[in-house]
A = this chain, B = another copy of it.
């Protein structure tokens, strides 16, 4: 598996300084790259790794080009990280066959499902009645798409994903729970990627809606009636509870939780493991994590947290006595 530098630049643009015949055998990180490997510098933090990198060629921005050219071949481009992403895409389509369109013989597909002929339904997938799957979408393997759910175009859905299981809805009745049948479905937009074993529940009355370009990592829970705006990305193990409305172009860190019925504005960034307990109506970066510490220190501070409002009252009293 090789690509000459010239082929890369012909396909993706950028300004090549170096021999277009040079063969790239692998893509690699700057600090570990060796001869025959192509790397990139996108984060100024790693700038000092540039001159000593053993990579055959490095993708750099204009401001690093002088230093890059001093050490060997380089490709100069506006956005080295984006360029690198496109090299990975070129690499894959050069060296790996695209998934064959069509339905794997082991998949269980209801005859009423409308699957675009360019879409791929992988092995052991289950596609129930009334489902629609758009052009060029790929269900990798062991994906369930339940009754009446729709998947847009160019989606990539990883193994174990469950789309359209029942939302969690019950009415209390004399100490027991009565089921609220979940009569909505799930609508997934175009260019959505959904990670392994992630679950998106069907709506109770109306649909759960995942916008265009949304990226969901593994093991995420999306509750019923949730709406997620376009191009929002959510990292693994996060949970969005029922009827929450997440804006567009948000990022939600891994294991973060958004409680039910809340609204999160566009361009909100939530740190990993933070719990959104109120609507966030302004763009910004929000965090709520108990800081990790040596267990002994933590025990003392946690005990103090549990008496914090008393401590505050004592401070107020002292302040007052000072004034007397």
- A residues contacting B by CB (< 8 A) are 26-29, 32, 79, 81-82, 84-86, 88-89, 91-92, 104, 106, 108, 123-124, 126, 140-142, 144, 146, 156, 158-160, 162, 165-166, 168-173, 175-183, 191, 193, 195-197, 199, 201, 204-206, 213, 215, 217-219, 221, 223, 231, 233, 235-237, 239, 241, 249, 254-255, 257, 259, 270-278, 284-295, 297-309, 311-312, 314-315, 318-319, 321-322
Chain B residue nearest in CB terms to A27: B205
Pick the 3 closest A-B CB pairs, nearest first.
A288-B292, A85-B171, A88-B181
Query: A314–B319 contact, CB under 8 A?
Result: yes
Task: Please name 6 pairs of A and B residues whose Cβ atoms are closer than 8 Å in the assembled complex, sorted by A.
Answer: A88-B181, A223-B236, A275-B289, A286-B298, A297-B309, A301-B305
Closest to A274 in B: B292
When chains A and B are docked, how far (Å) is the Cα of A96 from the Cα of B290? 46
Minimum CB–CB distance for A122 against chain B, Å: 8
- Residues A218 and B201 in contact in the complex (CB < 8 Å), given A86-B178, A180-B85, A314-B319: yes
Question: How far is A301 from B304 in the complex, measured between Cα atoms in Å?
Answer: 10
Please judge, given known A-B contacts A142-B142, A249-B175, whether A288 and B285 are in contact too, CB under 8 Å: no
Q: Give chain B residues whose Cβ lies under 8 Å from the Cβ of A307.
A: 301, 312
Chain B residues with CB under 8 A of A308: 300-301, 304-305, 308
Chain B residues in 8 Å Cβ range of A298: 271, 286-289
A293 with B309: CB separation less than 8 A: no
Q: How far is the CB of A294 from chain B (nearest CB, A)?
A: 6
Residues of B within 8 A of A294 (CB): 284-287
Min distance, Cβ A54 to any Cβ of chain B, angstroms: 15
Q: Give min CB distance, A97 to chain B, whole Å.
A: 10
The smallest beta-carbon distance between A171 and chain B, in angstroms, is: 4
Asked if A288 contacts B287 (CB within 8 A), the reply is no
Contact A305 B305 (CB under 8 A): yes
Complex contacts, A272 vs chain B, CB 8 Å: 241, 257, 259, 275
Q: A288-B289, A311-B312 are in contact. List 15 more A-B contacts (CB 8 A).
A: A32-B206, A85-B181, A91-B183, A108-B123, A126-B142, A160-B160, A197-B219, A219-B239, A236-B241, A257-B273, A273-B275, A277-B289, A278-B292, A285-B295, A287-B295
Q: Are A179 and B193 in contact (CB under 8 A)?
A: yes
Of all chain B residues, which has the CB nearest A300? B309
Residues of chain B within 8 A (CB-CB) of A288 are 289-293, 298
Closest to A238 in B: B237
Cα–Cα distance between A85 and B68 once the two chains are bound (Å): 58
Q: Which of B28, B104, B199 contacts A195 (CB 8 A)?
A: B199
State in angstroms the CA–CA spacing of A193 and B277 once bound together.
27
In the complex where A171-B82, A292-B277, A301-B305 touch, is A183 in contact with B92 (Cβ < 8 A)? Answer: yes
| Also in contact, A165 and B173, with CB within 8 A (given A277-B291, A308-B305, A315-B318) | no
